[in-house]
């Protein structure tokens, strides 16, 4: 039950309640052990208030768990966004010469959707054929695998995929696998999975498009508590202090779809508020970006 392991050691000021009620966070209930004295005091009386309080604590605990799940979800999404920004910065600095060499080291990131596809209209007058429109949003996810499935090239993300190709690429000794969603053609999502050049225990999954259906296997959006149903437990590399925080796979693009899966978490407006707040808090901290980069490379230089 260490659902508190994803602690916000980054100093993120998470105002879950917009009305600054953060002071009455039920830390006391969360600790659980220190309630002994309190319970002993109330043991002399009838057990009704005790049960009542227990119930309340249970509810609160569940609420907190949900909130934690949600926060981690947003955290992952934000991280991907940060990767995107960092990649853009790197590309600007590196310019374009030696783009193949640059691609080896700086191709992490997340080109999520809104790529400025300006000038999609045919300015040329006549044939406006654009066979490869990039309207699908592409997201890149790094997944650490256990050394046992070193050659499986499988990322368990809750969806069902059908492999339709595998190629050996130029810059990477490990092959790249091509997957389509099993719901194709109704669901046009594709993904590419390849091992990282730097760290062969890290899989790089590139997703294109959004699913228009729920996940086929549940028990994926679990935080901290791993139900053990996933044998090849993949874990996203996402933390600054510990090299691998086992946030099970959450795709940033799914946040819009996942709101039907978690309808009780208030409103999407609050979600956006949370994301924005986290973004501002994180982007204000310059060492965070460096730490993220370090975490993505599996190294651990703490300033």
Using CB under 7 A, list all residues that contact DNA.
Answer: 131-132, 160-167, 169-171, 176, 178, 182, 190, 192
Nearer to DNA, 175 or 298 (CB): 175
Stretch that binds Zn ion, among 74-82, 205-213, 259-267, 268-276 (CB under 5 A): 205-213
- How far is residue 288's CA from residue 236's CA, in Å, rounded to a whole number? 18
Min separation Cβ 261 and DNA, Å = 22
Phi then psi for residue 143, to 5 deg, are -130, 130
Residues numbered 154 to 183 that lie near Zn ion (CB under 5 A) are 181, 183
Name the DSSP class of 166: E
Q: Which is nearer to DNA, 161 or 296 (CB)?
A: 161
51 vs 168, beta carbon nearer DNA = 168
Region from 114-122, 164-172, 191-199, 209-217 binding Zn ion, contact rule CB under 5 A:
209-217
Question: 21: helix, coil or strand?
Answer: coil
- Least separation in angstroms between residue 22's CB and Zn ion is 38
User: How many CB atoms are closer than 10 A to CB 10?
Assistant: 18
Residue closer to Zn ion by CB (options 181, 295) is 181
Q: H or E element: which one contains 63? A: helix 48-94
Angle between helices 268-283 and 48-94 (to 10 degrees): 60
For residue 258, state whether it binds Zn ion (rule: CB under 5 A). Answer: no
Under 8 Å between Cβ of 249 and 143: yes
181 binds, among DNA, Zn ion, none (CB under 5 to 8 A by kind): Zn ion
Tokens of 42: 């109330």
- Give backbone dihedrals phi and psi of 236, rounded to 5 degrees, phi first: -70, 140
CA distance 288 to 129: 43
Q: Is residue 251 within the footprint of Zn ion (CB under 5 A)? A: no
176 binds, among Zn ion, DNA, none (CB under 5 to 8 A by kind): DNA
Edge-to-edge strand ranges of the sheet holding 235-236: 161-168, 175-181, 190-195, 202-208, 138-144, 235-236
Structure tokens at 118: 């300006």
Does 16 bind Zn ion (CB under 5 A)? Our answer is no
Nearer to DNA, 27 or 132 (CB): 132
Residues making contact with Zn ion (CB under 5 A): 181, 183, 187, 189, 211
């Amino acid at each position: 039950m260490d659902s508190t392991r994803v602690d916000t050691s980054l100093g993120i000021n998470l105002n879950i309640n917009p009305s600054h009620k953060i002071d009455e966070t039920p830390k006391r209930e969360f600790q659980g052990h220190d309630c002994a004295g309190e319970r002993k005091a109330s043991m002399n009386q009838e057990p009704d208030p005790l049960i009542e309080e227990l119930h309340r604590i249970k509810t609160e605990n569940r609420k907190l768990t949900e909130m934690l799940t949600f926060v981690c979800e947003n955290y992952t999404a934000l991280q991907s966004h940060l990767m995107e920004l960092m990649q853009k910065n790197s590309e600007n600095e590196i310019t374009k010469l030696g783009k193949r060499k640059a691609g080896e080291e700086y191709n992490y990131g997340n080109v999520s959707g809104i790529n400025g596809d300006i000038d999609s209209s045919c300015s040329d007058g006549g044939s406006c054929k654009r066979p490869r429109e990039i309207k699908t949003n592409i997201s890149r996810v790094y997944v650490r695998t256990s050394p046992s499935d070193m050659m499986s090239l499988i990322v368990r993300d809750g969806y069902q995929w059908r492999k339709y190709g595998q190629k050996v690429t130029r810059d990477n000794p490990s092959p790249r696998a091509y997957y389509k969603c099993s719901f194709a053609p109704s669901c046009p999502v594709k993904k590419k999975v390849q091992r990282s050049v730097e760290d062969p225990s890290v899989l790089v999954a590139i997703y294109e498009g959004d699913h228009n259906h729920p996940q086929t296997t549940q028990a994926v959006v679990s935080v901290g508590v791993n139900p053990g149903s996933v044998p090849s437990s993949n874990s996203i590399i996402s933390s600054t202090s510990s090299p691998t925080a086992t946030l099970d796979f959450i795709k940033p693009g799914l946040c819009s779809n996942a709101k039907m899966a978690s309808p009780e978490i208030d409103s999407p407006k609050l979600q956006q508020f949370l994301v924005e707040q986290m973004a501002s808090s994180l982007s204000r901290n310059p060492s965070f970006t460096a730490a993220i980069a370090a975490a993505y490379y599996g190294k651990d230089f703490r300033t």
